[in-house]
């Protein structure tokens, strides 16, 4: 009965009133939808955007850290390479076997005969130590010059000092001479002697032939 009366009442309303009633119903429905659904969805969207911003920031920080790591790794690798190159020039230890091997290698290439060698006691300086070794070599003038030049081209710093030439002998159109000299290498302080100084060859002045040079042990 009440529903029928309500329908009759609405039917009697003018068109404008009916439109207003319909608009009110739609408006109330929209408000209810906004309150019930949209506010929750909007809150979830804001939360997701906030999380996205945080994740993007963390990703940017991670990329920065990765870049810094690769920079540090490259710098470390470069320093290690430079240290290896420096150790070839100025090793931390005496390295008698490598020293002698380098000299013997140059002697073989230049054609001189390394007859004898004798390590001399190290001379300590302020920042480095001198590692002298007396040499006796025999060869022609151009071979001797080639030997001295080859020594100067080695990675390790080796100076040739106190050069003495004697007993020249003619070999056809060329002259063969005996040369006594001091080959002086260097090492940085803080290292230690490696190898036995007296063992590498015959004492200088003995005239005994030199033993075969040992293989290089990590440096020239």
Q: What is the mean pLDDT of the segment spanning 64-82?
A: 83
Contacts of 139 (CB under 8 A, 6+ apart): 110, 111, 112, 113, 147, 176, 177, 179
pLDDT(113) > 80: yes
pLDDT(210) > 50: no
User: Does any domain span residue 181?
Assistant: yes
Confidence band, pLDDT 50/70/90 cuts, at residue 8: low
Coil vs helix vs strand at 167: strand
User: Does any domain span residue 177?
Assistant: yes
H or E segment at 116?
strand 113-119
Where does a domain end: 44, 61, 86?
A: 86
Residue-wise pLDDT for 140-159, tens only, equals 989 999 999 999 898 888 99
Tell me how far apart the alpha carbons of residues 32 and 14 are, in angstroms, rounded to a whole number: 27
55 vs 90, more confident: 55
Q: Which domain holds residue 60?
A: 2-86
pLDDT(67) > 70: yes
> Structural domain tally of the chain?
2
User: Does any domain span residue 63?
Assistant: yes
Where does a domain end: 42, 62, 86?
A: 86
Which residue, among 110, 92, 215, 211, has the nearest Cα to 156 in the 3D structure? 92
User: Both 104 and 73 in a single domain?
Assistant: no
Do the Cβ atoms of 112 and 143 come closer than 8 Å? yes
- What is the DSSP code (8-state) at residue 207? -
Where does a domain end: 46, 64, 86?
A: 86
């Amino acid at each position: 009965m009440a529903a029928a009366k309500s329908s009759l009442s609405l039917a009697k309303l003018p068109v404008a009133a009916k439109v207003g009633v319909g608009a009110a119903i739609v408006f109330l429905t929209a408000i209810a939808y906004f309150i019930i659904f949209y506010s929750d969805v909007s809150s979830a969207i804001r939360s997701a955007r906030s999380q996205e911003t945080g994740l993007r920031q963390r990703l940017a920080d991670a990329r920065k850290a990765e870049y810094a790591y690769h920079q540090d790794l490259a710098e470390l690798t470069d320093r290690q390479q430079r240290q290896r190159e420096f150790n070839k020039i100025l090793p931390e230890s005496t390295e008698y076997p490598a020293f002698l091997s380098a000299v013997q290698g140059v002697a073989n290439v230049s054609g001189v005969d390394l007859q004898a060698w004798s390590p001399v006691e190290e001379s300590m300086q302020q920042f480095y130590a001198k590692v002298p070794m007396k040499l006796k070599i025999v060869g022609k003038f151009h071979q001797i010059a080639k030997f001295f030049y080859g020594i100067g081209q080695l990675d390790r710093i080796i100076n040739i000092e106190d050069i003495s030439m004697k007993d020249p002998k003619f070999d056809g159109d060329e002259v063969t001479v005996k040369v006594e000299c001091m080959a002086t290498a260097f090492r940085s302080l803080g290292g230690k002697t490696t190898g036995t100084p007296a063992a590498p060859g015959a004492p200088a002045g003995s005239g005994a032939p030199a033993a075969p040079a040992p293989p290089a042990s990590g440096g020239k």
